[in-house]
Amino acid sequence: MIDCCNLTSLSVCVAVVLGIYYWYRRPSKFPPGPRGLPLVGIIPFLGSYPERTVAKWKRIYGSIMSARFGRQDWIVLNDYEAIQQALVREGESFSGRPSIPLFEDLASGHGLALLDYGKSWKLQRKFGLMTLRGFGMGKKGMEERVLEEAAFMNEEIRKQNGKPFSINRTVANTVSNVICGVVFGRRFDYGDPWFTGLLQELDKWFNNPKKTVMFSLLAFMPWLQYVPPGSGMVRELRHDVNYLIDEFEKEVKQHETTFQKDEMRDFIDAFLDEMHKKKDTFTMLQLLHYIRDLFEAGTETTSSTLRWTLLCLIHYSETQNKLYKEIITVLGEDGKPSMSMKDNMPYTYAFIQEVQRFRTLAPFSLPHCTSNDVEVEGFKIPKGTTVVPNIWAVHNDPNLWDEPEKFKPERHLDADGHFVKSNYVIPFSVGPRHCLGEQLAKIELFFFLISMVQCFEFLPEDNILPEIEKGANGTVFTPLEYKIVAKERQF
């Protein structure tokens, strides 16, 4: 008779062997990559900047690699060609959104950013593009709207009287008012309590380093939502999302009471018109989450890029001088810019493109998911596999850029000083799911930068340069809060 102790030991050994086998096994012809530790995978080895760590692994595993995030194998696209192959040439297969509990909890299967690829997403994307264009995005009318908001921004900066201040709130108010004009049909005073309350919620979740790290961990390891401190954060996140949705619903209700079919005032009116036609997927919940997507993306991404821009201005003062010289030469002291001025303002365009490369705002973009079994460069990737493009790796690839760790706007100018648009700077991602607001963001960055530099010289507080290498790194990579001095130019 087998001794009970021996039987127990044998069972444990078999369980351990089976556990190791299942942990390290992978599908046939699956991309190679590290598996890490049971339950947590590679998470403990990623550090504060996972995109940089994973980019180094390219030397071992190649440009298309796998990595176990938590208990799931994700695919990482680690260079430009791999991203183009998957997201552009095989875009139909790589444009889904993965089933991540945290994302599903936030979006409830609605909105646009986290909506899975398919008929509903295509319908909502088409509506969004057509409607935003109809209300000025990418047209002369939007340029005028941005210039108007730039004047309000400069007045807020002027109120600081040359004393050190944090520009976070001012920039967020400015950028958000542009998308608010499109979505809600009006701008808000910078001290408006309703407006301020919404922006405070965004600031909490995008610019607090502790929260951004935990947010990423919850996406990688969903089981953390059931244990502290993850469970507490999820409750807080749900509360804050519900707060935003409730506030947006109040705005929609006001629109409903004054809606006139023959007078489309904004995005909300256009969506309500589709709802009245009883079109599929045009529901109240879809509208509320669509507004949330537009408000969050239309505020945080561009405002964070502008904050990185200001950091670059004060860290590399010679570039600020070159910008100012070009602006004054082309526009004078009070001339107005236009997007048609690319040929006349090459250094300004080069500066903006270098900021977007140098400080990649969305290092991993948003995660994609394969909608069917697909083969790429000899690798077989099953349906339902999560895929992340490492945008940071492209922007810092030494095969594409000379000294990528350095800030050099001149790298985007040719021998004759003309601006050269680079296909390798992809802050808005590529393929079917590239950013809906790309054109609007380009207008804002160009006009706001010119307007600020035209009016002010920006300097560090007490001549001490703030941190530019580190930031709050989650869905987006945002600067740590800093103070700046805006010295009004004397004409």
Residue 107 reports pLDDT greater than 90: no
The position carrying tokens 């690319």 is: 342
Position 374 scores a pLDDT of 97
% pLDDT > 90, the chain: 82
> Given pLDDT bands bounded at 50, 70 and 90, which one contains residue 94?
very high
| Residue type present at position 142 | M
pLDDT tens digits along 47-62: 999 999 999 999 999 9
pTM: 0.94
Position 7 scores a pLDDT of 54
Position 18 scores a pLDDT of 42
Residue 489 reports pLDDT greater than 60: yes
Round to whole Å and give the CA distance between 472 and 208.
6
Residue 13 reports pLDDT greater than 70: no
Taking a C-beta distance cutoff of 8 angstroms, is the pair 386, 368 a contact? yes
Residue 17 reports pLDDT greater than 80: no
Position 6 scores a pLDDT of 61
What is the average per-residue pLDDT within 449-459? 98
| Full set of structural domains in the chain with CATH | 27-488 (1.10.630.10)
% pLDDT > 70, the chain: 94
pLDDT tens digits along 190-214: 999 999 999 999 999 999 998 998 8
For residue 250, with 0-12 CB atoms within 10 Å meaning exposed, 13-18 middle and 19 or more buried, which class applies? exposed
